[in-house]
């Protein structure tokens, strides 16, 4: 029987507290977190422990940063890209963040960092979609359309893996500031923006594979609506 175990992550941006609770449950069964793994975590077999886990975001950490948590009773477990850090402590230890304002600051730093990639990748995706369709409808040479279509795939992937976490962090910032829960309009816009991104990507893929055909009169407004909704939902903070 292996003395290590892999646990897949659902996405820290979407289920941070749930995953920290899952890691605590594993610890109580004798599986202790010791490092991040690709799209998940690696656990090792040990004596069962009553541990609680907490996650923090900080770029360019130093000894003083980790010493602060050690003094508060939190042991540094592992880090990813020197940006995401997980700490553990015995059950009952005072939480790292004790109020909404300080917890909000944790998400703001990661939100701003992720947004720097999400904005240009999202705009490039929209641009390549438009240029590809223009080529499909013979407004420019079709050869350019092939080039734009090839460039579209990686930019769309990058846009999805950065934009959706941006929306998740944005929601957490508002929740910790006790604003989001009182704003039904923001909830509706957030859900619509995610839905429109999924629809746009699906339609683009089907059109690129020549499974369906859609006129520019219909498709271009979908692009515009998606861009406006996503911008309002994700980048107004």
DSSP H/E element including 33: strand 31-37
pLDDT value at 211 more than 90: no
Q: Given this model, what pLDDT does residue 217 score?
A: 67
Position 229 confidence tier, pLDDT thresholds 50, 70, 90: confident
**Tens-place pLDDT, residues 144-158:** 778 887 888 888 888
Return the CA Rg of the chain: 22
- As a whole number of angstroms, the distance between CA 22 and CA 11 comes to 13
**Tens-place pLDDT, residues 67-88:** 988 998 999 999 988 888 999 9
Residues with Cβ within 8 Å of 176's Cβ and at least 6 positions away in sequence, in order, are: 100, 101, 103, 104, 107
Burial 220-234 (b: 16+ CB within 10 A, else e): eebbeebbebbeebb
Q: Given this model, what pLDDT does residue 183 score?
A: 52
- As a whole number of angstroms, the distance between CA 191 and CA 23 comes to 29
Q: Given this model, what pLDDT does residue 74 score?
A: 94
**Which of 212, 171, 165, 213 lies closest to 190, judged by CA?**
171
**Tens-place pLDDT, residues 92-105:** 898 877 666 666 77
Q: State the residue for tokens 């839905």.
A: 195
173 SS3 class: helix
What's the token pair of residue 27?
Answer: 């610890």
Q: Given this model, what pLDDT does residue 95 score?
A: 86
**Tens-place pLDDT, residues 37-64:** 988 999 999 999 999 999 998 887 888 8
Position 223 confidence tier, pLDDT thresholds 50, 70, 90: confident
Task: Give the predicted TM-score (pTM) of the model.
Answer: 0.64
């Amino acid at each position: 029987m292996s003395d290590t175990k892999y646990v897949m992550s659902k996405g820290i941006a979407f289920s941070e507290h749930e995953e920290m609770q899952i890691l605590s449950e594993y610890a109580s069964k004798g599986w202790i977190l010791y490092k991040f793994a690709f799209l998940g975590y690696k656990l090792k077999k040990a004596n069962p422990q009553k541990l609680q886990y907490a996650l923090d975001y900080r770029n360019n950490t130093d000894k003083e940063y980790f010493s602060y948590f050690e003094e508060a009773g939190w042991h540094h477990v592992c880090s990813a890209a020197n940006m995401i850090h997980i700490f553990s402590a015995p059950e009952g230890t005072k939480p790292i963040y004790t109020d909404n304002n300080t917890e909000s600051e944790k998400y703001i730093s990661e939100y701003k960092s992720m947004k720097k990639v999400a904005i240009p990748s999202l705009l490039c995706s929209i641009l390549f979609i438009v240029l590809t369709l223009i080529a499909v409808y013979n407004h420019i040479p079709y050869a350019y359309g092939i080039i734009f279509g090839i460039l579209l795939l990686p930019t769309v992937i990058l846009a999805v893996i950065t934009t959706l976490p941006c929306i998740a962090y944005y929601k957490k910032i508002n929740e910790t500031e006790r604003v989001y829960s009182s704003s039904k309009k923001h909830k509706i816009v957030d859900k619509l923006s995610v839905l429109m991104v999924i629809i746009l990507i699906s339609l683009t893929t089907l059109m690129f594979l020549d499974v369906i055909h859609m006129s520019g009169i219909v498709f271009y407004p979908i692009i515009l609506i998606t861009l406006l909704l996503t911008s309002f939902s994700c980048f107004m903070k």
